[in-house]
Structure formats: C-alpha cells, structure tokens
C-alpha cells in the first residue's frame, strides 16, 4: 500500500506513530488516545508515548523512580515518544523539564480500566444497584497509585474528556476510554485530589463541541453561580443511629405517630448578615427545636444541588450532591446523624419527574436527547419549562433508582417524598389535545413512569425496610400507596391533597356561610382510608400570592387565630399523618419567601407564641395517645359522632385503637359559644378534656369544661352535655368508665 507523502516524509522510526495521529491528539480530535498514548509492547520492545504540554524534555520512570528512558520530542506542543527499558506493561510517570522547571506527571493512559465485564452486564440489564459506587468520581488506589476514577454515560459522543483544575481544563489531557457495550466512558486520573473542580468535555457525534457538562453522579458541587462538580472523598461518617434505624425497620409506619415539620433549609433561619447557616449550625438550632416541638420527622425541600435559589431546589442539576449552600456533604451526614440520635427522622423531597435545561445539566447531555425524550410532546414540561426524564430508557431508570438507594444507604435518610407524581403518571398532564403522545394502548397513562415508580418503591423498601416513600399525587389514581404485587404503585404514603383543598376552602368562608358547605368537611371521610394518607399543610399553600395560613382564615384577627387553632386541632384529630410547613406553627402573617428567614420576632406576641404552644401540645398529644395515631390509615380507627349538624357547623368523631382509651374530637367552627351541647359518646363515665384550642395559654378565650365532662346513659342514649368554646376544637379521652 502506497503511503501518503506526508507520512512518507515523516522520518519516523519503526514503532513511531504517524504525524497525523500526533496532530489528532494535539488538536483533541483523537477519539481513543489509549490506543496510542501510554506504555505499549511493540516488536521492538516497549515504547512510551505521552503528551505533556509545555515540556521541552521528558524522562520516563517507573512508579518507584527507576528511570526507563529518555523520550524524544516529536512536536513542540509537548508530544514525546521513545523506546524504554521496561520489562512489562506498568503505570508510567514522566519527569518533565522546561528550563529550570521540573515536574512529575503520572500517565493516565498507562492504567487499565476500572469497570469490568460484570458492570457492563448489569448496566445493560438495568439491574446494577451500585452505580453510585461506580459512576461519577471516586477516590481509589489503582495499580499502586492514588487518584480518582471518573465514569460517565454518553453513548452517542464522539469523544469525552474529564477536565478540571488538575489538567488546566484541557480536554486533550484526560480523554476517556469508551466501553462500547454500555456507552460509558471511564478513566483513572492519577494524583487527582479531593476538592478539585471538574466537568466533562464532550464532542457530539457530529463533531460539535458541547457546553461543559457537570457530572450527573457528582457527590459534591460548586456553590452557585459556579456550576462545576467537585471531587469528593468517600463519605466518612461515624453513624450513631443503630437504635433509630432498628426501630423503623421493624415498625409498621402506618401505625406509628408521624408528624412532619417541612423545612426549607435556606430560610428557616439565617445568620445576622443574611447568609445561610451551615449544616452544623442548622443542626444546633433546628434539631433541638423539633425535639421541643414534638415533631417526629423533618422533611426538607430538595437539598440536592440546584443553580437557582427561587426554584427552592425543585429544579436540580445534581441529584447525588447535597447543595454547597450549607457546606460540605459530610455536614449533611452529621445533621442526619444528630437527628437520629434524638429520634427524629429525615425525609428528602425528591424530584425524578423533570430536570432543568441549564447548559451544564442533563439536557442533550451527549448532543442527543439522552436523559429526556427527543419529542417535546413527551420530553418537555410546559408548566416548568423543564425536560422530562425518559422513563422508558433502562439507563435513565437505573440513574434515578440508584439515586433513591444512594440517599438511603449513604446518608441514612428515613424517607423520600416524591414530587409531582401526577405529572409523571399522565401523558396529557397540562397538555392540550394533540400536544401529547398516547401510550401503546391509546391511553393517557404513562405506563413507563408507572413501571419506574413501582420498581423504585420495590427496590427501596427491599434494600431499606426502614424507609418510607411518600407520593405527592394530586389526582385519584388508584392504589398509590398499595403494594406493587396488588397492582399498586408501592408508595408507603400519599399526600391527601383533597383534605388540604377542601378544609382550607371551608375555613376561608365566613362562619355564617359555612353551613352551606358542610360537605367540604365531611366528604374527605368517604375516601380517607382508600390510601395511607399524609395530611399536608405544605409550602405550596403559602407561596405565589396565596398568603400564609393565618391570612387565609376568615374574620377579624381574633377569629383568624381562633379559626387556625381550631383547624390545627381538627387536623391532628383527623385520621392521617401530619405535615406542617415551617412558620405556620406560630402563624406567620407574611407569605413565605426563600430569600429571608422566618419572622421569629412574632413569638414575642401572645397569639403567635400561643399558636406555637398549641402545635407543640398537639404533637405530644397525638404521639402519646395511640387512639389518635395507631389506626390513622384504617377505617376501624374512626367513627362519626356528629356528622350532619350543618346548622351549627359542629363536627364530632371518635378515634379508636384496640385496647386503648378512645378519644372524642369535637370541633365548633362558628364563633358561637355553646353551652350544654349534647355530644353522643360510646361509654358512660368521666371523659377528660385533654386538649382545648381555646385555652388562654394558646391565646384563646379560656372557655371550656373545667377539664372534664360526664357521659350519662339516658334510656340507652349515652351522651355528655359539653361546653363548646367559639371556633375551637376539643379532645376528650375516656378517663373512668362506669
């Protein structure tokens, strides 16, 4: 075969590569430098080839410093090669010189791969459940050298490099090795240290250089506005939570008291200068506060890395990285450990429904629609201007499922509240006719998303039985919280959006009109046990012009506080687990803003401090009385006592648990003070007033029953004559049965 004139005139020695390949490496066009660079066994012995920008001379050495040979510079940009005195293939280190300067470079191309054929097999099968230990950046000692292993999925890329502080952001220095069976690119980068910023430089299949991409599996990221990923050591946390985890692994969550404090970590409190608290500072204040308030769990709005503060974390670009806003990842682990030591669980808002279209994120990751659908009718979310994950792609499912498992394993999280489940389940969600693609049967159900959610729940509960998953699902999709083997989605709980909507609608009305809307309170009990429900008074109700909960209540200021106190008593007595967004426990007037801390100064005023005391007492009452929580999700734990008194807007019911004292909950939702109001009760005897939302200590008028009422049997009709304070809820527990 006749050689091209350029190669023929090269003057290269046997074994030396053509100038065209050298230029391809120097120009970043070479797609497989591992075939060229590093140490290679050829017919004439062992030959070393390297690219060391800026070097004038290079000596190859073994790792122990033994000189293997001086290399010849074949290009002034820093390309060297030559025969070396090696006896076997081994990692090579180069001693580079330029003038009086000398430095050492360990050759990344002289190391073998880290991933193996079993990784390839499980990745292709979609059954790899340890991807968080394989993908991304991990410190390791490989073939005798400390460094970081990088791996990223980009099957349609022509070339992928890891770039960062360690190589001057030069994409020619660490071009990665393609594993053809999986589309994963990997490289071991020797001598890279923890704390180094990095991204992936990707050339698409059309030869176009893409914007630098952050690592989808990065375990640490830069603080916004910077967007690089950061190499991180393996999480080093001395966990002291065996008792906490063992309890929840054995517990039936449905029958445990669960009262959740929903928190936005960036605005619960701030430092005096307005900056964020670190995880350690947050732990020193938030954990004791929640212990004192009686909450069993803290649920954080997403704390995964995100570029834009007003997204509250719901548009995340780093699902595996705790945001840098509050310090290093170890700080979050210490926070969780601190919570567990005092018996508080930690739940993370998790967002597998969509992702933002920021240039450094997942969108068109390798130049193609990789994580998202290519068709905008399937891959673009019109509500949030975000991209929708392609749930039909095995690698995308593995990415998301591994993320769910990662938080449970590495950070010992107690639960995931899955955001925007309804948007995942329906192909026509927020879309008009013709703007969506039907499923294979012509329906609007997203069957791929259903399979994803079922698999995620099965694997999460299978690997971590102490976990709970909670769906924010706003429609009547059946069996959200039923087991997968029974045709359900497999969640542990579902947010009861109907309860929130109906009760707030009712309480916004002036009391004189409430009798016409009685069913807004009673309707919820028709479906209250169709799912395992969490009753949410969440952040969604106090943003975007909706005002705070206290501001929603009808009437003047006195009535607003009384309404809200009665509402909280009603809710804590209602079947279902409880969730309250921060600031609402002391009736913050202002609508919540992520840009500033809560209005803690309000606690100096008795109505606000009284509200806080009430929520505290409700939590401890709910937790200490099995009748109020042990059958939250089962119909035998509830019985109406008064259901149809629309004229007086009075509701009463019984909460029950086997072998426990029953608790009667009575709510008067008008400002009318009612004496000698007849309440039917199941047992004769003395009933103790264990809670009264109108108590003076809570800011109420102090009306009540002196702590007790007597139930009598009048011709087979057991009842008590009860004083009903205005706009108030009472809880009565059977104290002594006749």
Kindly report, residue by residue over 548-591, the tens digit of the pLDDT.
999 999 999 999 999 999 999 999 999 999 999 999 999 999 99
Instruction: Kindly tell me if the per-residue pLDDT of 361 is higher than 90.
Output: yes
Cα radius of gyration (the chain): 32
Q: What is the pLDDT of residues 326-344, one digit of tens each?
A: 999 999 999 999 999 999 9
Cα–Cα dist 58/735, whole Å? 89
Using the predicted structure, report yes or no on whether residue 13 has a pLDDT greater than 80.
no
pLDDT at 219 over 90: yes
Instruction: Give the per-residue pLDDT at 723.
Output: 97
Cα separation values, 511 from 490, 518, 556, Å: 40, 11, 12
Mean pLDDT of 514-539: 97
pLDDT number for residue 737: 78
pLDDT of residue 15: 75
pLDDT band, very low/low/confident/very high, at 7 (cuts 50, 70, 90)? very low
Compute how many other C-beta atoms are within 10 angstroms of the C-beta atom of residue 609: 17
Q: How far is CA 168 from CA 104, 366, 452, 541, 647, in A?
A: 15, 22, 40, 48, 76
Query: CA 215 to CA 180: how far, in whole Å?
Result: 20
265, 300 in Cβ contact below 8 A?
Answer: yes
Confidence class of residue 4 from pLDDT cuts 50, 70 and 90?
very low
- pLDDT of amino acid 696: 97
| CA dihedral for 224, 227, 230, 235, sign (positive or negative) | positive
- Indicate the DSSP class of residue 213: B
Q: Are strands 468-471 and 493-495 parallel, antiparallel or unpaired?
A: parallel
The mean predicted confidence, pLDDT, of the chain is: 95
Helix (H) or strand (E) segment spanning residue 159? strand 157-164
Six-digit token string for 127: 């059954």
Q: d(Cα 565, Cα 555) in Å, to the nearest integer?
A: 14
Give one DSSP letter per residue of 309-351, joined into a string: GGGTTSS-SEEEEE-GGG--HHHHHHHHHHHHHTT-EEEEEE-
Residues forming the active site? 419, 472
Of 537, 459, 450, 452, the closest CA to residue 501 belongs to 537
Nearest to 366 by CA among 200, 179, 181, 202: 202
> Whole-prediction pTM value?
0.94
The model's pLDDT over 141-196, given as tens digits with 9 standing for 90+, comes to 999 999 999 999 999 999 999 999 999 999 999 999 999 999 999 999 999 999 99
State how far the Cα of 568 lies from the Cα of 617, in Å rounded to an integer: 11
pLDDT(457) > 90: yes
CA gap 114, 134 in Å, rounded: 9
* Number of other residues whose CB lies within 10 A of the CB of residue 432: 8
Q: What percent of the chain has pLDDT over 90?
A: 93
- Name which of 6, 31, 29 is nearest 18 in CA terms: 6
What is the rounded distance in angstroms from the CA atom of residue 694 to the CA atom of residue 669?
Answer: 12
pLDDT in tens, 91-149: 999 999 999 999 999 999 999 999 999 999 999 999 999 999 999 999 999 999 999 99
pLDDT at 8 over 90: no
The pLDDT confidence band at residue 44, using thresholds 50, 70 and 90, is: confident
Distances (CA, A) of 352 to 303, 372, 424, 459: 14, 12, 9, 15
CA distance 507 to 514: 8
- Give phi and psi for 109, each to the nearest 5: -85, 0
Q: What percent of the chain has pLDDT over 70?
A: 98
Burial string for 13-50 (b: 16+ CB within 10 Å, else e) reads eebbbebebbebbbebebeebbebbbbbeeeeebbbbb
Q: How confident is the model at residue 292 (pLDDT cuts 50, 70, 90)?
A: very high
Question: Distance between CA atoms of 471 and 353, rounded to whole angstroms?
Answer: 12
Angstrom distance (rounded) from CA 304 to CA 217: 12
Measured from the Cβ of residue 238, the count of other Cβ atoms closer than 10 Å reads 7
Q: Which residue has the tokens 């390297």?
A: 50
Q: What is the structure's pLDDT at 10? A: 56
Mean pLDDT of 342-364: 97
Give residue 12's pLDDT. 67
Residue 9 has pLDDT above 50, yes or no: no
Q: What is the dihedral of CA 38, 39, 40, 42, to 10 degrees?
A: 130
Q: What is the DSSP string of 12-74?
A: PPTTPPPHHHHHHHHTT--S-GGGTSEEEEETTEEEEEEE-TT-SEEEEE-TTS-EEEEEEEE
Residue from 474, 477, 483 nearest 454 by CA:
483
Q: Residue 601: how many CB atoms within 10 A of its CB?
A: 8
Confidence of residue 87 (pLDDT cuts 50, 70, 90): confident
């Amino acid at each position: 075969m006749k050689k091209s004139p350029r190669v023929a005139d090269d003057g290269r020695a046997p074994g030396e590569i053509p100038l065209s390949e050298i230029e391809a490496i120097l120009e970043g066009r070479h797609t497989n430098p591992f075939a060229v660079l590093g140490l290679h066994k050829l017919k004439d012995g062992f030959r070393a080839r390297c690219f060391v920008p800026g070097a004038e001379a290079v000596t190859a050495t073994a790792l122990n410093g033994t000189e293997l040979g001086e290399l010849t510079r074949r290009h002034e940009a820093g390309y060297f090669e030559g025969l070396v005195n090696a006896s076997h293939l081994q990692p090579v280190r180069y001693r580079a010189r330029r003038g009086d300067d000398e430095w050492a470079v360990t050759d990344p191309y002289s190391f073998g791969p880290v991933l193996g054929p079993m990784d390839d097999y499980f990745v292709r099968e979609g059954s790899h459940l340890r991807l968080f230990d394989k993908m991304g950046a991990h410190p390791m000692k490989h073939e005798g050298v400390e460094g970081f292993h990088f791996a990223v999925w980009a099957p349609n890329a022509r070339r992928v490099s890891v770039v960062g502080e360690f190589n001057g952001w030069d994409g020619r220095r660490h071009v990665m090795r393609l594993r053809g069976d999986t589309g994963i690119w990997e490289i071991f980068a020797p001598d890279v240290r923890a704390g180094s910023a990095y991204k992936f430089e990707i050339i698409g299949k059309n030869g176009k250089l893409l914007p630098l991409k952050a690592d989808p599996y990065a375990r640490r990221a830069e603080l916004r506005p910077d967007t690089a990923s950061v190499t991180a050591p393996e999480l080093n946390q001395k966990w002291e939570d065996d008792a906490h985890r063992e309890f929840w692994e054995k517990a039936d969550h449905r029958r445990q008291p669960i009262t959740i404090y929903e928190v936005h970590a960036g605005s619960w409190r701030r430092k005096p200068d307005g900056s964020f608290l670190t995880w350690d500072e947050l732990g020193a204040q938030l954990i004791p506060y929640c212990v004192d308030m009686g909450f069993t769990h803290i649920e954080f709005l997403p704390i995964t890395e995100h570029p834009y503060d007003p997204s509250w974390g719901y548009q995340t670009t780093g699902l595996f990285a705790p945001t840098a806003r509050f310090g290093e990842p170890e700080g979050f682990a210490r926070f969780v450990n601190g919570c567990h030591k005092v018996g508080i669980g930690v739940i993370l808002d998790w967002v597998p429904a969509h992702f933002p279209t920021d240039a450094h994120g997942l969108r068109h990751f390798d130049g193609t629609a990789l994580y998202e659908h290519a068709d905008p009718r399937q891959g673009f979310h019109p509500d949030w201007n975000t991209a929708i994950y392609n749930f039909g792609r095995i690698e995308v499912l593995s990415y998301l499922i591994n993320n769910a498992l990662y938080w449970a394993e590495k950070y010992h999280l107690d639960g995931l509240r899955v955001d925007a489940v309804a948007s995942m389940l329906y192909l026509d969600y927020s879309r008009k006719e013709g703007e969506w693609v039907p499923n294979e049967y012509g329906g609007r159900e997203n069957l791929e998303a259903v399979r994803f959610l079922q698999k995620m729940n099965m694997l999460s509960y299978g690997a971590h039985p102490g976990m709970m998953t909670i769906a924010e699902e706003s429609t009547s999709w059946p069996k959200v919280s039923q087991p997968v083997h029974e045709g359900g989605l497999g969640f542990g709980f579902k947010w009861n959006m109907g309860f929130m909507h109906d009760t707030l609608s009712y309480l916004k009305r002036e009391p004189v009109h409430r009798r016409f809307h009685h069913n807004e309170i009673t309707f919820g009990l028709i479906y209250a046990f169709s799912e395992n429900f969490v009753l949410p008074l969440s952040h969604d109700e106090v943003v975007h012009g909706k005002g705070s909960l206290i501001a929603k209540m009808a009437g003047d200021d006195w009535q607003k506080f009384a309404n809200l106190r009665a509402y909280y008593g009603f809710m804590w007595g209602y079947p279902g687990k409880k969730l309250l967004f921060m600031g609402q426990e002391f009736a913050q007037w202002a609508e919540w803003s992520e840009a500033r801390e809560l209005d803690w100064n309000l606690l100096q005023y008795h109505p606000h401090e009284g509200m806080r005391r009430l929520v505290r007492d409700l939590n401890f009452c709910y937790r200490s009385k099995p009748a109020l929580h042990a059958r939250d999700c089962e119909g035998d734990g509830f019985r109406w006592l008064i259901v149809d008194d629309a004229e007086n807007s009075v509701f009463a019911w019984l909460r029950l648990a086997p072998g426990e004292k029953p608790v009667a909950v009575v709510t008067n939702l008008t400002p009318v003070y009612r004496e000698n109001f007849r309440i039917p009760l199941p047992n004769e005897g003395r009933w103790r007033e264990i809670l009264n939302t109108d108590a003076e200590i809570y800011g109420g008028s102090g009306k009540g029953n002196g702590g007790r009422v007597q139930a009598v049997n009048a011709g087979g009709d057991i009842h008590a004559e009860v004083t009903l304070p205005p706009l108030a809820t009472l809880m009565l527990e059977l104290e002594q049965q006749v």
